[in-house]
Amino acid sequence: MSQGSAGNVISALASFFIPGLGQLLQGRLLIALLQFFLAALLWLIWLGWIIHIWSILDAALWTPRR
């Protein structure tokens, strides 16, 4: 997938609903788990939106290494 591709848009939308889900769709398990658990932890103190936005942007702007 390239930046701005339909796959990245779908991944960004998935991360909008569940942080890390877009990264999981892209096959990036470790970063998906990190973002999911960080968001869950930080939502307890109302700062989860930071990780949530990071997750969305990361999914949308990711380009695989060649």
Give the pLDDT confidence score for residue 4 in this predicted structure: 59
The yes-or-no verdict on residue 33 having pLDDT over 90 is: yes
Q: Is the pTM of this model over 0.85?
A: no
Angle at 23 between CA 22 and CA 25, to 5 degrees: 65
Tens-digit pLDDT profile for residues 1-12:
555 578 888 998
Domain chopping of the chain, boundaries? 6-60
For residue 56, give Cα distances in angstroms to 52, 66.
6, 23
Give the pLDDT confidence score for residue 55 in this predicted structure: 85
Distance, CA of 60 to chain centre: 8
